[in-house]
Amino acid sequence: MAETILVPRMLDAYHQFLEERVKPGAFAIDGTAGNGYDTVFLANLVGETGHVWAFDIQQAAIEATKNRVQVAGFESRVTLCLQSHAEMISVISSDLVGSVSGIVFNLGYLPGSDKKITTLVSTSLEAIRQSLLLLSPHGILTVAIYPGHQEGTLEGNALIDQIPSLEAAGWLIRIYKVPEPKSPAPYLITYERNKNENK
């Protein structure tokens, strides 16, 4: 079963994992653009020669992300998609299967917005299935889960339930939690190819 590791801060942890894998010229995906913080973080890592695709189903999120990307001067390296992440492969092109270095999901609702518009178990699972197809051999997928709302609890349970079958299929999966958290606390699941299994 996936190892559980304590980290001081979830955001710092997944940013560090992405920094280690997403290098200049790389492809990356933000599956939940929201206010665009992760999109800009990835756009900075891929540099002028790489590219980031950012997905959100809310126009307000795409606008907020567009503004943040413009302020950073990263327009030419980011494609904003007002579409569900469950359609990511068809939007990005199946040519990129096995070529994406970093994929980030911050599940839940847009902070300061309608809490009823949230990521959902069925579409999150489908987006994560497609993400695993898109990941490059040394790439990493990070998924932040917020069990403080009902759908977040369901998403987390569904993702944890599928860990054994993904591990059996050669994926290395880790769970990161913060120490002495307030309950229910957000947590992180990361997915990468298990190098030992692929030898």
**Span near ligand SAM by CB under 6 A; candidates 9-17, 57-65, 70-78, 174-182:** 57-65
> Which residue in 17, 27, 53, 55 binds ligand SAM (CB under 6 A)?
55
Please, what is the minimum distance in Å from the beta carbon of residue 64 to ligand SAM?
8
Using rule CB under 6 A, residue 35 touches ligand SAM:
yes
Strand pairing of 171-177 and 3-6?
A: parallel
Using rule CB under 6 A, residue 85 touches ligand SAM:
yes
Task: State the Cα–Cα distance between residues 125 and 185, nearest whole angstrom.
Answer: 21
> Which residue in 110, 143, 145, 159 binds ligand SAM (CB under 6 A)?
110
> Which residue in 2, 7, 11, 37 binds ligand SAM (CB under 6 A)?
37
Cα 160 to Cα 61, 90, 110, 165, 180: the distances in Å are 28, 26, 23, 10, 21
Using rule CB under 6 A, residue 44 touches ligand SAM:
no
Residues in 156-175 that interact with ligand SAM by CB under 6 A: none
Angle, vertex CA 162, rays to CA 156 and CA 163, nearest 5: 90
Structure tokens at 135: 């990941």
**Span near ligand SAM by CB under 6 A; candidates 33-41, 42-50, 92-100, 164-172:** 33-41
Task: State the Cα–Cα distance between residues 64 and 41, nearest whole angstrom.
Answer: 14
Cα 82 to Cα 49, 54, 57, 136: the distances in Å are 23, 9, 5, 24
> Which residue in 45, 56, 171, 175 binds ligand SAM (CB under 6 A)?
56
Across the strands, what pairs with 104? 30, 142
Main-chain phi, psi angles of 148, to 5 degrees = -70, -10
Please, what is the minimum distance in Å from the beta carbon of residue 15 to ligand SAM?
11
Task: State the Cα–Cα distance between residues 106 and 118, nearest whole angstrom.
Answer: 11
Using rule CB under 6 A, residue 119 touches ligand SAM:
yes
Please, what is the minimum distance in Å from the beta carbon of residue 68 to ligand SAM?
9
Using rule CB under 6 A, residue 151 touches ligand SAM:
no
Residues interacting with ligand SAM, by CB under 6 A? 32, 34-38, 55-58, 61, 84-86, 106, 108-110, 117-119, 123
